[in-house]
A and B are shown apart, each in its own frame.
Chain A
Amino acid sequence: MTRRGPRPVNLRLRRILVMLPWLMDRGTVSTREMADHFGLSVDDLIADLTLASLCGVSEDPNDLIDLWVDEDEVHFGLPKYFERPLRLTLPEAFSLVVSAKAASELPGAVADDALSSAIAKIAAVIGEESLTGVDVEIEVPASLDGLSRAVADAAVLSIDYWSPTSGETSSRRITPLEVFADGPHWYLRSFDHGAVGERTFRVDRIEAWSPTGDTDRRTVGPRRPWFADSPDATTVTIAVEPGWTWVLEHYPLVSIESRPDGWTDVRLVVTSERWLQRLLLRLGTHVRVNDPSEWRDLAVVTARNVRQNY
């Protein structure tokens, strides 16, 4: 078990400055609800509120922030300070604009008239110019609206999925859990009924899909690391020549470490030999496989095989 270090003062202050007006607005609230809302443990919440209750312009009790914790509830008394939250910081304003603009590119419930008017109200306060200088380009596949509705409806789907490894298409029965974009691609995180486990499918490789008519509502936990569910995954260590790590920018890496000689040691999870062949071809002579040893010659073998086409 690892012990957590003390929480930084700036993070605790940031929370306190937004928690106090929130609490003032409600008067009395359960510690559990408040801790959940602000992403804190109940113990941390009580520690911060207790400390805040000792603060004010003087030690006179009448000058202190008027709040107290009683059993499982927090109570707020007379407002004296921090009646409104601190105005948005630069990162907060930026992230709000980016989130709103990006979401307006999405289909369905996320992007609607209410979002447009919310964006307009935000811009009216933080400045119209905040909207014009930033853009988020999201290429939305035609199937996204239907797939996201299937997620919302917990609809079991039948899909035809093309695998780049085998070059073949197979039919699967899945419960879609989440559809998400990461880098240049969209993915459908699903429960695969045939594999009896979670699998993530690239949306552009789903050649056909249709609802089976069944529903299957599942609890969706946090997304696991890439390839954590792949049964054939192997961790591979490669060394990449200086100036060539850009090839790896879209790959999920386990670790990346520069060496004194300028080369970079990279560990990554490989789901199949063909998957690694693609990467090795892309890196050409600028990569060495160090581990596992049986793949040290894979680049040469692959290049010879492809060369036969020419």
Chain B
Amino acid sequence: MPIHQLERVTNLLTLLLSARRHVTFEEIRNELRGQYPENLVAARAAFERDKAILRDEGVPIDQTVLGGDQAGQTGYRVLRSSYEIEDFGLTDAEARALRLAVGAIRLGTSWSTEAMWKVDLNGTTDDEASAIGVELPVDDRLPVIHQAIGRRQVVVFGYHGRERRLQPWGLLARDGFWYLVGLDEGVNERRTFRVDRIEGRVRIDDEATFESPTGFAVREAFPSDPKLLPDGIDVGADLALVRVDSSDTGAVLAQYGPESVREQRPDGSLVFAIPCVNVRAFLQWLFGFVDRAEVLEPALLRAVVVRWLDEMIGTSA
């Protein structure tokens, strides 16, 4: 019966961790006798697959071309100092706080749970659960981008059909999306990218490093209200006056505060001043009220709304 690949990979790792010097494929095959196929080509392919599993799991396999009587052969070893996790020295209170944090922030993957198993080896699972939870989106490319930001390395990726070379300055999770902000070397200007819209993998250019601007704060890099992001549609004003029925004013007050009220009407409706720099985002907000809100000014924005509705009506007429 052939040996299970998991058993062979685990044996390979014990061997590489125990080795006092770099060992060659032939030596590994000899030590793990009968575990790799007899056929040399098949054995080599199986060994490459095993190494790939170990590397994908983060095992730091050190490899070097040997000299002496093994000249030209590649030797492999895993240094215990590179393999083993450092001692974080967390107190019980700190470990508990981290467990609560990991329980509260839900990334939709097992990454943080697996991290806690390592960081908090003595931890238990019977802690109280957090009463608060935050769902954060996750993307497989985030860890690589995060590493590149820390190391000040240029990243290369596809976006809207074009390849971008970006000096990544910061990652921001906001309103259910991850944003990457940095200097787009193609246009030599700061740009913001939605990570979930990046096409394909993110590659790090090991040769290219950079300096981030001092004092850069990613959450101040672009406005949190999408209605404040220019979209190229000019309606002649940055604020719209919107009349909202009395039934729905509470929602607007909660979002924009009483300082946004410009007028109170006898029927109980209120006129609010709402950002409309981004007309598309403004329309998305406006239509949330269906027929219980009306754009009063600017006239150009009112015309945009009327045209939008007329096109809808005309479509099926």
Is the beta-carbon distance between A38 and B170 smaller than 8 angstroms?
Answer: no
Is the beta-carbon distance between A102 and B115 smaller than 8 angstroms?
Answer: no
Taking CB atoms, residues of chain A closer than 8 Å to B57 are 10, 13-14, 17, 86, 89
Return B233 CB to nearest CB of chain A, in Å.
Answer: 14
Q: Determine if B201 is an interface residue (Cβ-Cβ < 8 Å).
A: no
Is the beta-carbon distance between A102 and B287 smaller than 8 angstroms?
Answer: no
Return A165 CB to nearest CB of chain B, in Å.
Answer: 10
CB within 8 Å for A85 and B18 given contacts A91-B111, A278-B288: no
Taking CB atoms, residues of chain A closer than 8 Å to B250 are 162, 169, 205, 207
Is the beta-carbon distance between A55 and B118 smaller than 8 angstroms?
Answer: no
Is the beta-carbon distance between A282 and B284 smaller than 8 angstroms?
Answer: yes
Closest residue to B16 on the A side, CB-wise? A57
Taking CB atoms, residues of chain A closer than 8 Å to B247 are 167-168
Q: Determine if A232 is an interface residue (Cβ-Cβ < 8 Å).
A: no
Q: Determine if B219 is an interface residue (Cβ-Cβ < 8 Å).
A: yes
Q: When each residue 290-310 of chain A gets 1 if its CB lies under 8 Å from chain B and 0 otherwise, what string results? A: 000000010110111111111
CB contacts under 8 Å to A, within B13-63, are 13-15, 17-18, 31, 53-54, 56-60
Q: Determine if A179 is an interface residue (Cβ-Cβ < 8 Å).
A: yes
CB within 8 Å for A302 and B290 given contacts A87-B84, A95-B109: yes
Is the beta-carbon distance between B150 and A99 smaller than 8 angstroms?
Answer: no
Taking CB atoms, residues of chain A closer than 8 Å to B311 are 284-285
CB within 8 Å for A55 and B14 given contacts A102-B136, A277-B290, A281-B290: yes
Is the beta-carbon distance between B11 and A102 smaller than 8 angstroms?
Answer: no
Is the beta-carbon distance between B4 and A51 smaller than 8 angstroms?
Answer: yes
Which listed residue, B83, B175, B305, touches A310 by the CB 8 Å rule? B305
Is the beta-carbon distance between A102 and B132 smaller than 8 angstroms?
Answer: no
Among B6, B59, B85, B254, find the residue whose CB has the most chain A CB atoms closer than 10 A.
Answer: B6
Closest residue to A97 on the B side, CB-wise? B146
- Stretch of A124-132, A190-198, A209-217 at the chain-chain interface: A124-132
Which listed residue, A83, A99, A127, A307, touches B102 by the CB 8 Å rule? A99
Q: A299 to B10: give the CA distance in the assembly, Å.
A: 61
CB contacts under 8 Å to B, within A78-125, are 80-100, 102-104, 106-110, 112, 114-115, 117-118, 121-122, 125
CB within 8 Å for A96 and B83 given contacts A17-B57, A57-B11, A306-B291: no
Is the beta-carbon distance between A117 and B94 smaller than 8 angstroms?
Answer: yes
Closest residue to B151 on the A side, CB-wise? A129
CB within 8 Å for A57 and B15 given contacts A85-B84, A95-B111, A167-B248: yes
CB within 8 Å for A87 and B111 given contacts A10-B53, A51-B4: no
Is the beta-carbon distance between A134 and B98 smaller than 8 angstroms?
Answer: no
Taking CB atoms, residues of chain A closer than 8 Å to B83 are 84, 86-87
Is the beta-carbon distance between B10 and A164 smaller than 8 angstroms?
Answer: no
Q: A123 to B2: give the CA distance in the assembly, Å.
A: 44
Closest residue to B285 on the A side, CB-wise? A282
Is the beta-carbon distance between B104 and A88 smaller than 8 angstroms?
Answer: no
Is the beta-carbon distance between B112 and A300 smaller than 8 angstroms?
Answer: no
Taking CB atoms, residues of chain A closer than 8 Å to B190 are none
Which listed residue, A17, A37, A89, A299, touches B125 by the CB 8 Å rule? A37
Q: Name B's interface SS.
A: helix
Q: A18 to B117: give the CA distance in the assembly, Å.
A: 7
Closest residue to A296 on the B side, CB-wise? B316
Q: Determine if B97 is an interface residue (Cβ-Cβ < 8 Å).
A: yes
Closest residue to A149 on the B side, CB-wise? B131
Is the beta-carbon distance between A100 and B98 smaller than 8 angstroms?
Answer: yes
Is the beta-carbon distance between B309 and A99 smaller than 8 angstroms?
Answer: no
Q: A18 to B116: give the CA distance in the assembly, Å.
A: 10
Q: Determine if A181 is an interface residue (Cβ-Cβ < 8 Å).
A: yes
Q: Determine if A227 is an interface residue (Cβ-Cβ < 8 Å).
A: no
Q: A122 to B91: give the CA distance in the assembly, Å.
A: 12
Is the beta-carbon distance between A86 and B118 smaller than 8 angstroms?
Answer: yes
Q: Determine if B183 is an interface residue (Cβ-Cβ < 8 Å).
A: no
Q: Determine if B1 is an interface residue (Cβ-Cβ < 8 Å).
A: no
Closest residue to B107 on the A side, CB-wise? A95
Q: A57 to B13: give the CA distance in the assembly, Å.
A: 9
Among B10, B132, B143, find the residue whose CB has the most chain A CB atoms closer than 10 A.
Answer: B132
Given contacts A56-B14, A300-B317, A310-B306, list 18 more A-B pairs with CB under 8 A.
A39-B110, A82-B14, A84-B85, A88-B119, A91-B140, A96-B115, A102-B105, A110-B97, A110-B101, A133-B149, A138-B134, A149-B131, A179-B132, A204-B255, A300-B313, A305-B290, A306-B287, A309-B294
26 pairs across A/B with beta carbons < 8 Å?
A: A16-B10, A86-B58, A87-B86, A90-B58, A94-B111, A95-B107, A96-B98, A103-B101, A115-B97, A121-B94, A122-B98, A134-B149, A138-B134, A178-B131, A178-B133, A179-B132, A180-B134, A182-B135, A182-B176, A204-B255, A205-B251, A274-B290, A282-B287, A284-B308, A285-B312, A307-B309
- Top 6 A-B residue pairs of the complex, sorted by shortest distance between their CB atoms: A167-B247, A133-B149, A183-B176, A103-B101, A281-B287, A95-B111
Chain A residues engaging chain B, CB cutoff 8 angstroms: 9-10, 12-14, 16-18, 21-22, 25, 36-39, 51-52, 54-58, 65, 80-100, 102-104, 106-110, 112, 114-115, 117-118, 121-122, 125, 127, 129-130, 132-139, 144, 148-149, 151-152, 162, 164, 167-169, 178-184, 204-205, 207, 247, 249-250, 274, 277-278, 281-282, 284-285, 297, 299-300, 302-310
